[in-house]
Chain A
Amino acid sequence: MSHRAGTAHLAGALSCADLLAVLYGGGVIQIDPKKPQDSKRDRLIFSKGHAISALYAALAMTGFFPEKDLENYNEEKGHLPEQPSPGCAPGVEWATGSLGHGLGVGLGIALAAKIHRQDYRTFVLMSDGECQEGSVWEAAMFAPRHQLGNLVAMVDFNKWQATGRSTEIMQMEPMADKWRSFGWEAREVNGHSVEEVHQALATPWAKDRPLAVVAHTVKGKGVSFIEDDNNWHYRSPTAEELQKAEKELFGKMENGE
């Protein structure tokens, strides 16, 4: 998708692909792809909108729209823009791209569930750089006060942001303790271990506390020459690089990785 469309942010999409695989492929998110507007559905606010190609792929692979549509990613007048617009495709809950909005929106949806007396849950997937936005911590302070055990914040902690190491630009660590000190239950996992991610999301937590899953990830995960190389924040692969990447990824799939 990134090669065909010439779009940036491939590495940030790869870093959260395993998290999405667990959320959608692992049956964590309870939603019927044929009824994406069902009021009782679980919601995912994909707050790192620059990496939306990963969500488009996950939604297509789980039947929200045909996989063939992915070929139209970022095409003019298409329904899969480079960054999502409101209601652009079934399963895309919110138009993100400006960081630091998703947790507040997800919080509103979670609070509404309590008002409507509904059982759905709201997941918010954020980047680590995003956690530098003050609005994230406004929301983080509000949710535990209102006992929102139906809200899950996931941080794709790949340790990079646009221009450098997130951990060097801001004091990101201790990330999990930040959430704990704000009153959240926090779990740290290897974000590329589907077992660990699944366990973190499936193991019950206190009903009166929101859950933060801090997923340690590798930016560009899965492709050796993209992994942990921040030039790939903006680059898109050439035809040759694409071929090489596909060979690596298909090889890993055949080996069951």
Chain B
Amino acid sequence: MRNAFADEIRKIAVQDARVVMLSADIGNRLFDKFKTECPGRFFNTGVAEANTISMAAGMAATGLRPVCYTITPFITARCYEQIKVDVCYHEQPVVIVGTGSGLSYASLGATHHSLDDLALMRVLPGMRVLAPADAMELRSCLQVAMKANHPTYLRIGKKGEPVIFPEPPPFSFGVWNRVKEGAGLTAILACGNTLPIGLEASKLLAAETTAPEVYSCASVKPLDAKTLSRLFATFKKVVTIEEHSLAGGFGSAVAEWKADEACDSKTRLIRLGCDDRYLHDAGEQDHARIAYGLTAAKIVDGLCAN
């Protein structure tokens, strides 16, 4: 995903002279083309994330369109107060991009896991939160984020993620992409890079009455209220899945929506995500996903159980 990000932001910046890239000591050679094609608009801001964010807010206040980029925990939790005060409180159109999100850097330990970023970002007034499923959806999200005039957080992976969409799909804030039709009784709401897990589960259930609709829910804030209204009016079960803590993330946002907007709904909401613990094991992303129960089998269990 990060290669697609570097390519797409370069394309946008070539067209829009207001775009400046602030990379906090990450992306060795990744932005070489950006630097060549947009001279004077790339800044390596060093291992100094708080300053990166404050500086971006100051730049945005003069009419520039800064994009701040580094590994997710460091561009979200590390500099949280700068994001709150300088970006969101001042309503500056800064786009914050966290790379290697969720469990992408599983093997580097919990210092590099980001299982709290959706929660932290979505609680900030005015902040838009996007978690694209793959490189193609990322391109669409970035285009929309850069055209909008809001603080936006974009949660992306690192490299080699499966590509689901054949081309950049349509995207707008508060609208999810339905990637698979179903039997009309169950749905899987996959947030960000968990879409392949959702699709795998749907394959396993393709012949069943529980064959689920599958959505790529890139717009975490705002949610797709129209889709949620439909699902919670007539569906039996809805599963959310995310590489994020069960506390405060995408599934929580859906649960909040249900409590506020569909409290009488008979639809059962099942949330899959990371439970309340740090992962201490060595191992790659697939191992970490199994350890947290983020698997197609768990979705199938949820949809088939009574």
Are A109's CB and B59's CB within 8 A? yes
**Which chain A residues numbered 62 to 89 have a C-beta less than 8 Å away from chain B?**
85-86
Determine whether A19 belongs to the interface, using a CB cutoff of 8 Å to chain B: no
Number of interface residues of A (CB under 8 A): 28
**If A95-B90, A115-B64, A141-B46 touch, does A108 touch B56 (CB 8 Å cutoff)?**
yes
Minimum C-beta distance from A53 to chain B (A):
20
Q: Mark A88-124, 1 if CB is under 8 A from B, else 0.
A: 0000001100101101111111111101100000000
| Cross-chain contact of A107 among B40, B51, B66 (Cβ < 8 A) | B51
Kindly state whether residue B48 has any CB partner on chain A within 8 Å.
yes
Would you call B86 and A105 a contact (CB within 8 A)?
yes
Contact indicator B85/A101 (Cβ below 8 Å) = yes
User: Is B4 interfacial (CB 8 A cutoff)?
Assistant: no
Determine whether the beta carbon of A105 is less than 8 Å from that of B54. yes
Interface of A is mostly: helix
Q: Select B51's contact among A94, A112, A116, A139, beta carbons within 8 Å.
A: A139
Q: A104-B82, A107-B51, A115-B20 are in contact. Are A142 and B45 (CB under 8 A)?
A: yes
Asked if A104 and B20 make an inter-chain contact with CB atoms under 8 angstroms apart, the answer reads: no
B69: shortest Cβ distance to chain A, in Å?
A: 16
B-side contacts of A98, CB under 8 Å: 81, 85
Tell me if B62 is interfacial: C-beta within 8 Å of chain A: yes
Check B48 against A138 for contact (C-beta < 8 Å).
yes
Whether B48 pairs with A112 at a CB distance below 8 angstroms is no
When C-beta atoms are compared, the residue in chain B nearest to A105 turns out to be: B58
A-chain residues with CB within 8 Å of residue B85 when the two chains form the complex: 95, 98, 101
The reply to whether B40 and A104 form a contact with Cβ atoms under 8 Å apart is no
Decide: A112 near B58, CB < 8 A? Known: A104-B53, A104-B82, A135-B50.
yes
| Assembled-state Cα–Cα distance A103/B41 (Å) | 21
B46: chain A residues within 8 A (beta carbon): 138, 141-142
- Report yes or no: A115 in contact with B50, Cβ–Cβ below 8 A: no
Give the nearest-CB partner of A114 in chain B: B40
Type the 1/0 row for B29-46, where 1 means its CB is closer than 8 Å to any CB of A: 000000000001101011
Q: Are A138 and B90 in contact (CB under 8 A)?
A: no
Check A30 for interface membership: any CB of B closer than 8 A.
no
B165 an interface residue at 8 Å Cβ cutoff?
Answer: no
Task: Return chain A residues, CB-CB under 8 Å to B40.
Answer: 115
In the complex, A243 has a CB within 8 A of chain B: no
User: Is A256 an interface position by the 8 A CB rule?
Assistant: no
Q: State the CA gap A22–B123 with chains docked (Å).
A: 42
Which residue of B has the minimal Cβ distance to A134?
A: B50
The smallest beta-carbon distance between A3 and chain B, in angstroms, is 29
CA distance A86 to B85 in the complex (A): 10
Cross-chain pairs A/B with CB under 8 angstroms, 17 sampled: A39-B63, A98-B85, A101-B85, A101-B86, A104-B53, A104-B55, A104-B82, A105-B54, A108-B58, A109-B58, A115-B40, A115-B41, A135-B82, A138-B48, A141-B48, A142-B55, A146-B43
A-B contact sample (4 more), CB < 8 A, given A109-B59, A142-B45: A106-B58, A108-B57, A108-B61, A109-B62
Instruction: Identify the B interface with A (CB < 8 A).
Output: 20, 40-41, 43, 45-46, 48, 50-51, 53-64, 66, 81-82, 85-86, 89-91
